[in-house]
Amino acid sequence: MVSFPLADRVSAVSFVVVLLLGGCGSVALSPSGTGGSGAAGGTQGSGGSGADAGHDAGADGGRAGAGGSSDGGPSPGAVTLRLNVPPSRSFCDQTCGAAQHITILTLDAQRVPTDVPFSAAMCGDCQPVASPVGGACLLTGVAVTGAEVRWDGRSYPLSTCGAGVTCYQPTFVPAGQYVAHMCATPGTLDKPAGQPPVCTATAATECIDVVFDLPGKDVVEGALSGT
């Protein structure tokens, strides 16, 4: 019988635990209420509703802090991006996390990666990270009354290090013009007895692109039709 050192057995158990970790996300709805793709641009942390906006901004700040310091120089400045939706119309999300309504793009429509990649290692560490295993996710309907995010130019582009390890390097984008791609989906929110609320899309996702300067105005707003 072969005996393994205690340190090797502990490392093996820790690796299995990491593989069992799961996560959940949100679903963009098509008018039929089924999962669909949103408008161009990827994701960027923002609130799914007025109440969620502050929570999401705080969550993004926590992820940014966890992402380590930047080697791309100082921040070029900060801006608050805000999406306004008409109160006379109903918008909602079907999600199990904070829905994302604001994406930052370059002028040539390339997405700026503003969220820490959870499945990649920090390039300074260069240690492989196990991909999370998908877990159960309870989708819940959430009313959307607007969205807001504070951005200081922080970005997390992907790269590789060592023996082809996927990693990210925290940095700041250069000062200049960028595009805030803001979207929300018209829908109705139903509350079945004894069940979570359900969002049913009633039309295609609506978006607006707002060009802004960084640094520039402290608050940049976009409004969907009818606001």
Give me the residue spans of the domains in the chain: 38-193+205-223
The pLDDT score that the predictor gives to residue 100 is 87
The pLDDT score that the predictor gives to residue 118 is 79
Lowest mean pLDDT among 20-24, 26-30, 96-100: 20-24
The pLDDT score that the predictor gives to residue 119 is 79
- Cα 215 to Cα 178: distance, rounded to the nearest angstrom: 10
pLDDT tens for 87-133 read: 999 999 998 877 889 999 999 999 999 988 877 888 988 888 776 66
Going through 3-98 in order, the beta strands assigned E by DSSP cover: 26-29, 35-36, 79-84, 92-95
pLDDT tens for 155-174 read: 999 998 988 888 998 999 99
Sign of the C-alpha dihedral computed for residues 150, 154, 160 and 162 taken in this order? negative
Half-sphere exposure of 80 (CA within 13 A, CB side): 11
- Cα 7 to Cα 128: distance, rounded to the nearest angstrom: 19
- The helix or strand, by DSSP H or E, that contains position 147, with its residue range, turns out to be strand 147-151
Strand partners, 213: 177
The DSSP-derived string for 72-92 is: S-S----EEEEEE--TTS-BE
Binned at pLDDT 50, 70 and 90, residue 14 comes out as: very low
| Rounded mean pLDDT, 6-11 | 39
The pLDDT score that the predictor gives to residue 175 is 96
As given in the structure block, the two tokens for residue 139 are: 């989708």
Lowest mean pLDDT among 16-20, 43-47, 111-115, 191-195: 16-20
Number of Cβ atoms within 10 Å of the Cβ of 137 = 15
- 164 burial level (CB within 10 Å; 0-12, 13-18, 19+): exposed
Half-sphere exposure of 147 (CA within 13 A, CB side): 31
pLDDT tens for 78-89 read: 999 999 999 999
- pTM of full prediction above 0.75: no
3-state secondary structure 103-140: EEECCCCCECCCCCCCCCEECCCCCCCCCCCCCCCCCE
Query: Over 60: is that where the pLDDT of 208 sits?
Result: yes
- Cα 193 to Cα 179: distance, rounded to the nearest angstrom: 42
The pLDDT score that the predictor gives to residue 38 is 35
Chain centre distance of CA 161: 25
| Rounded mean pLDDT, 25-34 | 40
SS3 154: strand
Of 135, 99, 101, 115, the C-alpha closest to 26 is: 99
